[in-house]
Amino acid sequence: METIRPVDRSYPERLGAVCDPPSLLYVLGNLRKHDLVVAIVGSRAAPRAAADCAHQLAQDLGGGGAAIVSGGALGVDTAAHRGALAADAATVVVLGNGLDIAYPPRNARLFDEIPRRGGALITTYKERQPPLPHHFVRRNRVIAAMADVVVVVHAGARSGALYTARAARRYGRVVVAVPGSAGTEWLLCTGAAVAETAGDVLAAVRGEPRRPEVDLPAPDSELGRVLLALDGCVGRNPSELSTHTGLNPRRINQHLLGLELSGLVVSLPGHMGYVRSPLAHELLAEARNQTR
């Protein structure tokens, strides 16, 4: 085991460049430098299709020279690490406990194999530190900071993977999501690019993100009137929207549900109303440019 600090050459470059890098990292294995580092995260209880997707993405991206970072959990994380190993690529496990503890226990063999095959286990926690719930919040920040792009493969509405995505956005990392789960659909609504293949991930890193395929409603339709009555920052509730559109609140609620499901509208936390999503703003801007 090695202990490294931000001033050390072996400290991960991307992690050291953020505003709040860990003052100590405990490392088992080899932290090599790579031109591209991809974090692949998602639910522990992900369905088989999501795990297969994570494995394939990691294998394809790792085969192209990327290093794969994840959290060593069951489900998506394990599939990502296994996919990287299948491509003989480097993979890094960021743990939420000391290096002397294999958590989850079912991944003990995986954690033995990764350092032997050129990867690494890292943590901010000393030996004998257990995997406490709040440790994983910090662990997720480290995962986000170490990567150029964070891929969320599958996530529930309150998944820890969403915390990783939020941290990635704060650090200025690219965030992409695989459609099909509540958490990833929310990410797509709020600006994440679509990622179903390694090519999609690489395109997003190049600044050519694949957007969700959504059509704007006609401006003079009821849906269009509701969308245009919304703002991108200040939330409006159904009563306010009713005043602006002349539609009754029941119709407003129906249209808000449809717009939210299509990714054009986002509900604010704490019942603070609804706003247009970043995707809606982008599509509306394109529509205005086309009519000039």
At 26-58, the pLDDT tens digits run 999 999 999 999 999 999 999 999 999 999 999
pLDDT at 292: 63
Q: What is the pLDDT of residue 80?
A: 98
Q: Say yes or no to pLDDT of 214 above 80.
A: no
Which domains does the chain possess?
2-205 (3.40.50.450), 222-290 (1.10.10.10)
Percent share of the chain, pLDDT over 70: 99
In the predicted structure, residue 291 carries a pLDDT above the cut 70: no
For residue 231, what pLDDT is reported?
77
Closest CA to 61 of 151, 144, 143: 151
Q: For the whole model, what pTM was predicted? A: 0.83
- pLDDT above 90 covers a percentage of the chain that reads 70
Residue found under tokens 């994840």: 70
Q: Which residues of 161-262 form beta strands (DSSP E)?
A: 174-177, 193-194
Closest CA to 191 of 214, 164, 209: 209
Q: Cα–Cα distance between 66 and 37 in angstroms, integer? A: 6
Alpha-carbon distance 103 to 91, whole Å?
17
Quickly list H helices, 17-101.
Answer: 48-63, 76-86
Angstrom distance (rounded) from CA 195 to CA 150? 10
Cα(70)–Cα(146) distance, rounded to whole angstroms? 10
Which of the four pLDDT bands, split at 50, 70 and 90, describes residue 290?
confident
For the stretch 260-281, pLDDT in tens is 877 788 888 777 888 888 888 8
Average pLDDT over residues 6-22: 94
Please give the pLDDT value at position 151. Answer: 98
pLDDT over 70 at 105, yes or no: yes
172 near 145, Cβ under 8 Å? no
> What local confidence, expressed as pLDDT, does residue 188 receive?
87
Task: Answer whether 62's CB lies under 8 Å from 68's CB.
Answer: yes
As a whole number, mean pLDDT of residues 139-156 equals 97
